Amino acid sequence: MSISGGVGHFDLDQMMEQDMEVHHREVSAPVTALNTMADSLPGLGIVAAVLGVVITMGALGGPPEEIGHRWPQLWWYIFGHFVVLRACSDP
């Protein structure tokens, strides 16, 4: 383009800079989406842990067997919460 004289040097420089900016934005879009999702995972783990506690506390008025069936569920919720927190924490 520059050799044929169709575009000036300054215009060519601006077009190349704009092209690099667009490329940078397009390349960083998947990383931004993944980072946004990773930032929301600790909140999801907290909700899961609280849900496990609420479900178990709802069974406290019932027979002991029902509470015994709820404990593994509660521990899986809490374990999931800690796994999510560990996966999203900085090394």
| 61 DSSP 8-state letter | T
Closest CA to 52 of 87, 80, 19: 80
pLDDT in tens, 58-74: 777 777 777 777 777 77
Res 13 pLDDT > 50: yes
Res 1 pLDDT > 50: no
pTM > 0.75: yes or no: no
CA distance 32 to 39: 10
Cα–Cα distances (Å) from 71 to 5, 52, 74, in that order, read: 77, 9, 5
pLDDT at residue 90, rounded to an integer: 60
DSSP string, 36-49: HHHHHHHHHHHHHH
